[in-house]
Structure formats: C-alpha cells, structure tokens
Amino acid sequence: MQCPFCMEEVLDGAVKCKHCGSNIGAQPGQVATSGQSDFAELFTSAVNVWKANLVDLIVLSLVFMLVVWIPIANVGFISGYTRSLLKVARGQGRAQVGDLFNNWDCFANLLAYLVLNLVAMVVLHFVPIIGPLAAMVLGFFVAPGMYAIIDKDFGVIEAYKWSFESIQANFVNWLLAYLVGNVISCAGMIALFVGIIVTAPLGGLIYIQQYEKVKPA
C-alpha cells in the first residue's frame, strides 16, 4: 500500500511510514488522537502533506496570488484554492491550477459571509482602544465558518453558528492552528513577498488539519 502523505510504498497494515514518519493509521487530514494536546501531531501531518506535494502547491499558490487581487471574482478563487488544499490533505488528488477556476457553487454564501465579516471588522476599528483587538478576536471566531461554507455548502447563519460552537468546544487547537498557520503564511512576505507561495499552502494545511478533525457531518 502507499503512504497517503509521501506516496511511498509501505507494508500493508503499517501504522507508521518508514519514509516520512507519518502516522498512517488515519487518512490525511484526520488526526487519530483527541483532546486539546494533539497540536504537535496535527502540525506534523500538515508538514508531511506539504512536503509530499510541494511543487504542485507552489504552482497553485503562485497562480492564486496573481488572480486573487481581482475584485469579487477573488471570492471564487478563494473557494477554489481552499478546496484544492482540502483535496490534497485528504489524499484525493494533486493540487492543480484548474482547481482555482471551477468552484463557484458556494460563491453567493461565501461572498455574503466575507462581506459581513469585513463590515463588522471595519466598524470595530472605529471603536477606541479595544476596537482593533475586538476585530482580531472576531476574525478568529468566524474563520472556521468559511471552510464550512466552501466544503459543506453551509448557509451564512449556519456557518456562524457552527464556527462559534466549534471554537468553544476546541478552543486551544483552533487558536494554535489560527496563530501558527497565519504566522507561517505571512512569513513568506519577509523574503521579498516571493516566499509566500511556499509558506501560504503550509499555513493553510495546518488550519485544514484542525478543520478535518472537527468538520461538520
């Protein structure tokens, strides 16, 4: 059989890959342990998927960075990019540039969700002292809902409800995934911005690993 992370051949029934060291008792994106203390395993799984698909992810991210600046249409590209990362994390295929352009079915709900969040954050920034901090907290609490819309076709209200409930039930892991994923994604900007095409998919995969653990049925 093949390791779902590095695609190398391993013995049938193996629980750990001898090539990349990944726990293969669970499918990509599904962390076998439970509780709030398994972020290290979640992080390792994301890194293994990232390394095994690095070239494809760099090409995907490069094209995404070129088109994501297009107003309104960028909502569809965000959906396509996220679904491509989900596909890779689940071992369902390679990341392909075409993924960016054929995922428009959730466009209306995702656009409404992003606009509402943006308006709320802009308003909060006008609140003295605590406004910017409140906007950051809001961004953290609504982030999972975007994945539920893209992956499960949730409506806006349904996405808000699930997002807040999921974070309340898994606060530590969501917080770590959010902080570490964003730091890694943004780290590429230091390398004259070019490095973001390498770091952004890893940051996204870290967050997706947490989403995969608790995703709605």
pLDDT 10s digits, 35-46: 445 899 999 999
Rounded Cα distance between 116 and 145, Å, is: 12
Closest-CA residue to 152 (of 116, 108, 114, 106): 106
Cβ partners under 8 Å of residue 77, min gap 6: 64, 67, 68, 70, 100, 101
Residue 31 vs residues 37, 69, 161: alpha-carbon distances, Å: 12, 34, 24
For residue 150, the model assigns a pLDDT of 98
pLDDT tens-digit readout, 47-101: 999 999 999 999 999 999 999 999 999 999 999 999 999 999 999 999 999 999 9
Tens digits of residue pLDDT in 150-193: 999 999 999 999 999 999 999 999 999 999 999 998 887 776 56
pLDDT for res 15: 58
pLDDT at 30 over 50: no
Instruction: Give the amino acid at 42.
Output: L
CA distance 170 to 35: 8
Q: What is the mean pLDDT of residues 190-197?
A: 73
The per-residue pLDDT for 185 is 86
Rounded Cα gap, residues 2 and 12, in angstroms: 8
- 3-state DSSP of the chain: CECCCCCCECCCCCCECCCCCCECCCCCCCCCCCCCCCHHHHHHHHHHHHHHCHHHHHHHHHHHHHHCCCCCHHHHHHHHHHHHHHHHHCCCCCCCHHHHHCCCCCHHHHHHHHHHHHHHHHHHHCCCCCHHHHHHHHHHHHHHHHHHHHHHCCCHHHHHHHHHHHHHHCHHHHHHHHHHHHHHHHHHHHCCCCCHHHHHHHHHHHHHHHHHHHCCC
Q: What average pLDDT score do residues 14-32 get? A: 53
| Matching residue, tokens 């995404």 | 64
- Is the pLDDT at 24 greater than 70? The verdict is no
Mean pLDDT within 116-135: 94
Mean pLDDT for 101-105 is: 93
Q: Distance (Å, rounded) from C-alpha 170 to C-alpha 137?
A: 15
Please give the pLDDT value at position 187: 82
In sequence order, what are the beta bridge partners of 23?
16
Q: Say if residues 32 and 25 touch (Cβ distance below 8 Å).
A: yes
Q: Which of 36, 101, 109 is nearest to 67 (CA)?
A: 101
Q: State the pLDDT at residue 38.
A: 81
Banded pLDDT at 195 (limits 50, 70, 90): confident
Above 90 in pLDDT, residue 194?
no
Does residue 28 register a pLDDT over 60? no
